[in-house]
């Protein structure tokens, strides 16, 4: 039977019963095939943290949205697809779970539930990443070492913990690298000195976990970050990206995760202290001016949320990139594989800014400002607004928050009902109504009708 362990009790008590049942089924299915499965990564870390905080979670984010399983202990090349096979076998028992297979081998994912309130829960099932060992079956040393190798490729000690779900030694917590102690001491520690050179996105991950969990970067780990950055990480990333496009995707993903988090500002402060923004461009650094712009963007975006659905993190990232020389901006955005409109926006930002700075001061009436600004999307105007002086900024915010939203008291349908025929003049009439509304000449239906009678009588 299972050996009693703190971890086992935690799993049983804290996991949703249906999920627990699924994990137990998965363990049996793996055992039938002579495999081991482990719960690894973030869910183990978070379960131990929940235990430490006695349920009073330090962050809002301790609800799982994914759970990682690793399958291990197989001895034939065909079993490289063990993760996929196991996922299929689990799905046979739980037909409501949706199966997704990535690539030919290695990983499968089950969408365990998709819930409006709880969010969705993915169960990732990977095959232990290790070289193939052509040893005879049931060599326990090899088995132990392949899960160990899988864990050794992970980022931090606290993310390299695993719980064995299969017998023998069911419930055993594998802690090869001192993750438990680091969890207890609230430290983010890499597994080896080369970690950040091997994968620079780990710098962002280290900071994200540290800020989110209220942990410190372990001093040696921080010195590895300094070393990686001092050794010319930008050039390194650039040359890496040529062979591994996945690096771009991961870097963008980490930037997104940092910038959309509630703690983004504190995380950015740590990243700035580490000079980690040079991963994006050697000249990118936080200056007092850029900090001010970021705070403005945050405030403005919060205001705005109701009317527009801007990707806040993306606007913040664009603002960082916009601090670079005009010729560099588009290139950096492209390197990060930002969406086409984002690349476009940044490439044209200096022309846009010049045009707006020239037009706006010549506008007296709101309707003229609306004419001048309506060609630009809201993201562009937020960028320009955050970067410009007070007078210009006020006009842009007025436009974004009020004028661009304002509707005349009568619309096209009302005009038709009043006997106007859609046609060439129709647009002129609508524009006249819009301008009169913007400029405060009319506010009510009656005033609008009176204006129509004066300027466009229907007889």
User: What does the binding site for ligand ATP look like in residue numbers (CB under 6 A)?
Assistant: 41-42, 66, 68, 154-155, 159, 199, 201-202, 205
Selection from 118, 107, 91 nearest residue 25 by Cα = 91
Nearest distance from C-beta of residue 35 to ligand ATP, angstroms:
20
DSSP-based three-state secondary structure for 7: helix
Nearest distance from C-beta of residue 153 to ligand ATP, angstroms:
6
Nearest distance from C-beta of residue 324 to ligand ATP, angstroms:
26
What end-to-end distance do the CA atoms of the chain give, in Å? Answer: 94
Question: Rounded distance, CA 406 to CA 408, Å?
Answer: 7
- Which of residues 199 and 222 has its CB atom nearest to ligand ATP in the complex? 199
- Which of residues 172 and 254 has its CB atom nearest to ligand ATP in the complex? 254
Nearest distance from C-beta of residue 243 to ligand ATP, angstroms:
17
- Which of residues 291 and 313 has its CB atom nearest to ligand ATP in the complex? 313
Beta strands in 227-338 (DSSP E): none
Question: Rounded distance, CA 22 to CA 125, Å?
Answer: 13
The first and second tokens of residue 261, run together, are: 């988090």
Nearest distance from C-beta of residue 370 to ligand ATP, angstroms:
43
Residue-by-residue DSSP string for 197-227: HH-THHHHHHHHHHHHHT-EE-HHHHHHHHH
- Which of residues 16 and 431 has its CB atom nearest to ligand ATP in the complex? 16
Nearest distance from C-beta of residue 154 to ligand ATP, angstroms:
4
Question: Rounded distance, CA 34 to CA 56, Å?
Answer: 39
91 class by beta-carbon count within 10 Å (0-12 exposed, 13-18 middle, 19+ buried): middle
61 φ/ψ angles, rounded to the nearest 5 degrees: -100, 15
Nearest distance from C-beta of residue 38 to ligand ATP, angstroms:
12
**Which single residue brings its beta carbon nearest to ligand ATP?**
42
What's 191's DSSP letter?
S
The string over 196-213, giving b where at least 16 C-beta atoms fall within 10 Å of a residue's C-beta and e elsewhere, is beebbbbbbbbbbbbbbb
Strand partners, 125: 69, 108
- Which of residues 175 and 379 has its CB atom nearest to ligand ATP in the complex? 175
- Which of residues 72 and 379 has its CB atom nearest to ligand ATP in the complex? 72
- Which of residues 41 and 335 has its CB atom nearest to ligand ATP in the complex? 41
- Which of residues 202 and 281 has its CB atom nearest to ligand ATP in the complex? 202
Nearest distance from C-beta of residue 205 to ligand ATP, angstroms:
6
Question: Rounded distance, CA 267 to CA 60, Å?
Answer: 16
Question: Rounded distance, CA 138 to CA 184, Å?
Answer: 35
- What's the sign of the alpha-carbon dihedral 52, 53, 58, 62? positive
């Amino acid at each position: 039977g299972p050996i009693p362990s703190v971890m086992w009790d935690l799993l049983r008590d804290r996991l949703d019963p249906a999920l627990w049942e699924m994990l137990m089924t998965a363990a049996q299915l793996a055992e039938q095939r002579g495999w081991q499965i482990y719960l690894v990564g973030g869910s183990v870390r978070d379960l131990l943290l929940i235990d430490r905080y006695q349920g009073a979670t330090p962050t809002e984010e301790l609800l799982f949205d994914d759970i990682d399983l690793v399958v291990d202990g197989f001895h034939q090349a065909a079993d490289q697809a063990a993760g996929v096979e196991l996922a299929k076998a689990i799905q046979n028992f739980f037909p409501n779970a949706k199966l997704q297979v990535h690539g030919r081998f290695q990983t499968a994912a089950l969408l365990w539930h998709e819930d409006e309130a709880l969010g969705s829960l993915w169960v990732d099932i990977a095959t232990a990443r290790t070289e193939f060992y052509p040893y005879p079956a049931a060599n326990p040393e090899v088995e132990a070492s392949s899960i160990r190798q899988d864990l050794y490729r992970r980022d931090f000690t606290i993310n390299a913990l695993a719980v064995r779900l299969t017998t023998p030694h069911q419930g055993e917590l594998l802690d090869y690298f001192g993750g438990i102690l680091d969890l207890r001491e609230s430290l983010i520690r890499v597994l080896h000195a080369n970690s950040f050179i091997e994968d620079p996105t780990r710098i962002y991950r280290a900071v994200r976990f540290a800020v989110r969990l209220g942990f410190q970067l372990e001093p040696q780990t921080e010195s590895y970050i300094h070393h990686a950055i001092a050794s010319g990480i930008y050039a390194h990333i650039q040359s890496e990206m040529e062979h591994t496009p996945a690096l771009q995707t991961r870097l963008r993903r980490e930037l997104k995760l940092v910038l959309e988090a509630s703690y983004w500002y504190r995380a950015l402060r740590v990243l700035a202290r580490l000079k980690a923004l040079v991963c994006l461009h050697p000249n990118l650094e936080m200056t007092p001016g850029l900090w001010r712009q970021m705070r403005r963007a945050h405030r403005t975006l919060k205001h705005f949320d109701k009317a527009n659905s801007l990707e806040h993190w993306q606007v913040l990232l664009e603002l960082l990139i916009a601090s670079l020389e005009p010729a560099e901006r588009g290139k950096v955005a492209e390197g990060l594989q930002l969406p086409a409109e984002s690349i476009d926006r940044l490439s044209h930002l200096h022309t846009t800014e010049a045009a707006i700075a020239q037009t706006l001061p010549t506008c007296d009436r709101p309707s003229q400002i609306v004419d001048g600004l309506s060609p630009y999307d809201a993201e562009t105007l937020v960028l320009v607004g955050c970067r410009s002086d007070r007078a210009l900024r006020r006009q842009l915010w007025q436009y974004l928050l009020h004028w661009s939203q304002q509707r005349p008291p009568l619309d096209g349908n009302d005009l038709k009902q009043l006997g106007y025929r859609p046609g060439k003049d129709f647009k002129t009439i609508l524009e006249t109504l819009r301008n009169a509304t913007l400029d405060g000449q009319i506010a009510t239906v009656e005033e609008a009708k009176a204006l129509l009678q004066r300027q466009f009588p229907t007889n």
